[in-house]
Amino acid sequence: MESKTARNAEIGERISGKSSHPDERTVRDWLGPEAFEHWRELRSWIDEFYPNVFTPDWIYGGKKRGWALRYKESRAFCSLLPAYRQLSVLVVLGRAEREKFEDRRYFWRPPLVKLYDDSQTYHDGKWLTIPVLSADDRNEVTDLMSMKRPTLSRSQGL
């Protein structure tokens, strides 16, 4: 059952209660069944293809940005951004990753290329916040993450 807060939330609104990071049930209720399935699949994919590499940690970005589940070793890999009925993934592409992206520009689907082109480049790279609305989106995000850091497992995909 949804809480009163969830019933009043708008699509895309982030989990912003500062007292403690959300648990799995809160994330599931907030995302809804479809987005939570993407959440679960992405987390499983990271665990399978990067075994024992990352220890995900919750980071709080303030009331506006809310909570994010960050995967990081020595540098950031990605952050899963649970929002009301919507999941996005933040991937920062540094110089080397931007060159790889450009080399494969026509491999990517047009919405991702537009997002990439429209994103500002900062000193540490391009910050891409990619909405995951379908299995195709999810597969493209995992391809992007594999480009950023090669997987440790032989097989690829979800």
Rounded distance between C-alpha atoms, residue 39 and residue 81, angstroms? 9
Local mean pLDDT, 10-residue blocks, the chain (158 residues): 56 82 94 97 96 94 91 92 96 96 96 96 94 97 95 61
The β-bridge relationship of strands 76-83 and 57-60 is unpaired
- For tokens 């807060």, the residue is 5
76-83 sheet: strands from edge to edge: 57-60, 67-72, 76-83, 86-93, 125-132, 121-122
Check if the beta carbon of residue 70 is closer than 8 Å to that of residue 59: yes
**Threshold 0.85, pTM exceeds:** yes
User: pLDDT at position 32, please?
Assistant: 96
Residue that the structure tokens 């982030």 belong to? 14
- DSSP bridge partners of 83: 14, 86
Q: What is the dihedral of CA 110, 111, 113, 116, to 10 degrees?
A: 170
pLDDT value of residue 155: 52
The residues near 80 (Cβ < 8 Å, ≥ 6 apart) are 39, 42, 43, 68, 69, 71, 87, 88, 89
State residue 7's pLDDT score.
56
